[in-house]
Chain A
Amino acid sequence: MAKRVGIEVSLAIAEMAKLANVDVVAAYPITPQTHIVEHLAQLVANGELDAAYIPVESEHSAMSACLGASAVGARTFTATAGQGLELMHEVLYVASSMQLPVVMTVANRALSAPLSVWGDHSDVMSVRDTGWIQIFTENGQEVVDNLLCAFRIAEDPEVLLPVMIHLDGFHLSHMIEPLFLPQPSEVEQFIPPNRYPFPLNPGKPVTMGAFAPPIIYSETKKAQQANLEASKAVILHCWEDFGHHFKRYYSPVESYLSEGARVLLLTMGSFSETAMAAIDKMRQEGKDVGLLKLRLWRPFPFKEIRQAVKNADVLIILDRALSFGGPGGPVCSEIRSALYHEQNRPKVISFVGGLGGRDITVAGFEYIVNRGIQISQTGSEQEFEIFGVRE
């Protein structure tokens, strides 16, 4: 049985990467992710982790080095945040389309300008379409649990895709939480060794990322799309097996007091914890509200979302990112679109909030729910509202 330890979530991530016995870490420090790679560097320097630690000159190089390492069959890990994720951008597409199973934690951070080191989901949303599997977490335990799952999912021969684990910058990365970390033997049992099928080898040469003229490019993209969609079955199975081993259970869309509720609030990431407290309070007051938490962002869980909202009248979605000039928060846009063809669908109300590290309290979530119900009845001239902004 694992022991519960008090540890900063960033350090727990590094410890989990160590438990997963990563072979290569190539990383560049950036707030609020720095403690993760700093601790990993220490573990390698102290001889506690037998891995190659590549200190690179930028995140573009970090991800590029990760691709090279992954291509020789090494278990590869990195972490980044905000501007760092942006600097990696073009290489992220290469990782997914070459099917290199890199695992990365992203301590979600707002984008410049103005400069903000604090958390929101602007960085994530800009890499939405890069073809990575993307999983959101709401507390430290979920981060380390899903990081363990990430190695197994990424390296599964049926998947072979890179995986991002998203944790809110500061709200999660810098928290000290009581966490269960698995025993090395449990990890060994849960994640088999990396079996990457085409490791670079001069004796058996292959070409990766070859030139694809118009006659073949569409076929490569269709294959990539089909592969990412098919990864969902492996993700679900991994979570099921994780639950069996560790008695903690994960699913693509999680619900809290949502059964039969006419009004649903949907959140992603750490704000779900506060939202649950708000739902508790409103339930005690006799209000018919529940909470949905979107965990699996890519591949998008269409079936589970449709199932989860089918009996609701109003669905209020909180995004922590703006789509400037667009139809609302990115999460809201996708869910609205996923529900468009449904016979019975709730009115979907979009809020954007928690930008650049601003907190939303229990009272804030109560306001969002009440205001959302009001908009569902009266309509609004705005496509979405920014919560808490001073007018």
Chain B
Amino acid sequence: MTKPESELTWKDLEIGSIVTEPGNASQYQTGDWRSQRPTLNHDRCVKCGICSIFCPEGCIEQNADGYFEANLFYCKGCGICARECWTQAITMMEEEE
């Protein structure tokens, strides 16, 4: 997409609102749906990666230090990672806190 969605006018749309650029759903920020944010306690984390396997958004990736961290551009704050974490290293924090 040449412009972000918020700047597109009706005249910018392709016929039938067809999206001609494959894979551009990655530009869609689902992170702003979030009311709770996963926070990682690095002392408890054993770097097993179970959180990334269960993440329905597929937005948890291993960083250079080996920790698994959520990409907050996409993370919707569902809390599944916190629920599944074997060592309870992930805590869901209210966004306003």
Contact = CB atoms under 8 A, between A and B. Distances in A.
A1 interface: no
Interface string A92-128: 0000011110000000000000000000000000000
Contacts of B14: 198
A216 interface: yes
A340 B13 CA distance: 34
A220 B15 contact: no
Contacts of A205: 22
Contact of A216 (B8, B11, B20): B8
A208 B22 CA distance: 11
A223 B11 CA distance: 7
A331 B15 CA distance: 30
Given A215-B5, A215-B6, A220 B13 contact: yes
B9 to A, nearest CB: 6
Q: How large is the interface on A (under 10, 10 to 19, 20 to 34, 35 or more residues)?
A: 20 to 34
A97 to B, nearest CB: 7
A233 interface: no
B18 A98 contact: yes
A206 B13 contact: no
Given A215-B6, A216-B8, A219-B8, A97 B13 contact: no
B19 interface: yes
A218 B28 CA distance: 18
B10 A160 contact: no
Nearest to B6: A215
A97 B16 CA distance: 6
A389 interface: no
B17 interface: yes
Nearest to B19: A207
Contacts of A219: 8-10, 12-13
Nearest to A217: B17
Contact of B18 (A206, A222, A227): A206
B33 to A, nearest CB: 10
Nearest to B4: A215
A160 B17 contact: no
A326 interface: no
Contacts of B13: 219-220, 223
Interface in A200-242: 205-208, 210, 212-213, 215-216, 218-220, 222-223, 226-227
A212 B12 CA distance: 15
A210 B17 contact: yes
Given A215-B5, A216-B5, A198 B18 contact: yes
A56 to B, nearest CB: 23
Contact of A222 (B6, B10, B22): B10
Contacts of A98: 16-18
Contacts of B6: 215
A286 interface: no
A206 B20 contact: yes
Given A98-B16, A99-B16, A207-B19, 15 more contacts: A98-B18, A99-B15, A99-B18, A100-B16, A198-B15, A198-B16, A198-B18, A207-B18, A210-B19, A213-B5, A215-B6, A216-B8, A219-B10, A220-B17, A223-B10
Interface of A: 97-100, 160, 197-198, 205-208, 210, 212-213, 215-216, 218-220, 222-223, 226-227
In the A-B complex, the 4 residue pairs with the closest CB atoms: A99-B16, A207-B19, A222-B10, A219-B10
Interface of B: 5-6, 8-20, 22, 28
13 contacts: A97-B16, A99-B16, A198-B16, A206-B18, A207-B18, A208-B16, A213-B5, A215-B5, A219-B12, A219-B13, A223-B10, A223-B17, A226-B10
